[in-house]
Structure 1
Amino acid sequence: MTYTTRDIQARLAALGYDPGPIDGLDGPKTRAAIAEALKARNVKCIKELFHASGLHRIILHWTAGADGLIELERRHYHLIIDRLGRTHSGALKPEANANCLDGRYAAHTRALNTGSIGVALDAMAGAKQTPFDPGKYPITQVQVQALAETVADLCETYQIPLTLYSVLTHAEVQPMLGVKQRSKWDITWLPGMAGPGDPIEVGNRLRSLVTEAKL
């Protein structure tokens, strides 16, 4: 498994080291953080800072779907949670995204699929960002709780730290990891909110729920 500089920077930040901006540039601050992490964790190479599976990130989405999964949704996400809180497996296991070079992977996040597990809430068909309208199939509270429990399990299974560098919504990808997306506003709204909120604030709410689910 070969990790990009951006992947390494995000992993270092998730583990509590400071690589500088997550910008994909291999500068002195990034190299210093690598050296610090290797020494502190008593490992010999960068690969040992990652889980053996190669998976190191979870990205949270909504499908913009209605009730009832369709095959396209199953192809794009590894796990999908319906509005009743039931979790469904996608067409491919998360390990399919450890290496996307064979073309057989779940394509859920532009230019950031390798190493990324895609988990989606099946909801928000017909939703509008401005003026806000959640549509006829809004996210439900039971769905959000199931998401938190599912992500908590994934974090434990793949040793993914629960940080905004490694567990984040699709709306947080561009501001946090510097990878441009195509006007994605998922997930910026949750049940009880009057309208879409700041991506990182909403992401923090979800990460807090995952923390509670891990207890």
Structure 2
Amino acid sequence: MKFTTRDLQARLAALGFHPGPIDGLHGARTNAALNDAMADRVVMRPEALFHSSGLHRIHWHWTGGAYGEIQLELDHYNALIDQDGTEVAGTFPTEAQARYHPGLAASHTLNANTGAIGLAVDCMAGACERPFRAGRYPMTRAQLDGLVRATARLCRQYDIPVSRWSTLSHAEIQPTLGIPQRAKWDICWFPGMDRPGDPVEVGDRIRAMVRGLL
């Protein structure tokens, strides 16, 4: 299994060995963090810092659709969370993401699908970030709880730490991992909020919920 320098940097940060900026450049700080992590985990190769499946991140989304799964949504995410919080399997299993190829795995995040599981709450059709309106199909509390449960289960299964660099929303991909996206604001709002917030701060709140289950 091959991992990019950016994947390695994000994994190191998720494990608590900060490599400096997540920029895809293997410099001195990245190398020092790598050496510390391998010594701590008693491994000889950088690849051994990852789960054997090759999966190392979870990306949170909303579909931007109405309640009720459609084939397009099932094709784009590894799992959907429906209106009552039930997890619905997507077309492609999670482990298809380890060797991502369009048409053979879920294409959920621009240029960031390899090794990343895509979870989506099925909601937010007609929503608008500014001025904010949640639309006729807002995220429900049951959906948020379902997203948290699914994340916790996958973190246990694939040794994915709960961190800003490994469990994060689509809106966090660009500011945290430095991978440009197309003005995505999922998930900057969930039930109980008056308006969308800073994506990383909102992500921190969801991560705290996941840690509460773990």
Instruction: Name the TM-score class by shorter chain.
Output: over 0.9
* TM superposition score normalised by structure 1: 0.98
**Which residues of 2 match residues 35-54 of structure 1 at below 5 A?**
35-54=35-54
Instruction: Tell me the residue number matched to 1:194.
Output: 194
Deviations 1:35-75 (A, max 9, x none): 11111111010110000000000000000010110000000
Rounded to whole Å, the distance in 1 between the matches of 2:43 and 2:208 is 30
**Which residues of 2 match residues 23-34 of structure 1 at below 5 A?**
23-34=23-34
Matched residue type, 1:169: S
Deviation of 1:89 (Å): 0.1
Q: Does 1:65 align with 2:58?
A: no
Query: Closer, same or farther in 2 for the Cα pair 1:157/1:178, shift >3 Å?
Result: same
Matched residue type, 2:25: L
Matched residue type, 2:54: G
Rounded to whole Å, the distance in 2 between the matches of 1:35 and 1:73 is 41
Instruction: Tell me the residue number matched to 1:122.
Output: 122
Structure 1: stretches of 5+ with no match in the other structure: none
RMSD over aligned CA atoms reads 0.9
Instruction: Tell me the residue number matched to 1:21.
Output: 21
Deviation of 1:101 (Å): 4.1
Structure 2: stretches of 5+ with no match in the other structure: none
State the percentage of identical aligned residues: 52
Aligned pair count reads: 214
Rounded to whole Å, the distance in 1 between the matches of 2:32 and 2:178 is 21
* TM superposition score normalised by structure 2: 0.98
Instruction: Tell me the residue number matched to 2:143.
Output: 143
Matched residue type, 1:47: E
Deviation of 1:102 (Å): 6.9
Deviation of 1:103 (Å): 4.6
Rounded to whole Å, the distance in 2 between the matches of 1:90 and 1:130 is 31
Instruction: Tell me the residue number matched to 1:95.
Output: 95
Q: What SS does structure 2 have at the residue aligned with 1:58?
A: strand
Q: Does 1:175 align with 2:175?
A: yes
* 2:75–2:106 Cα contact (<8 Å) kept: yes
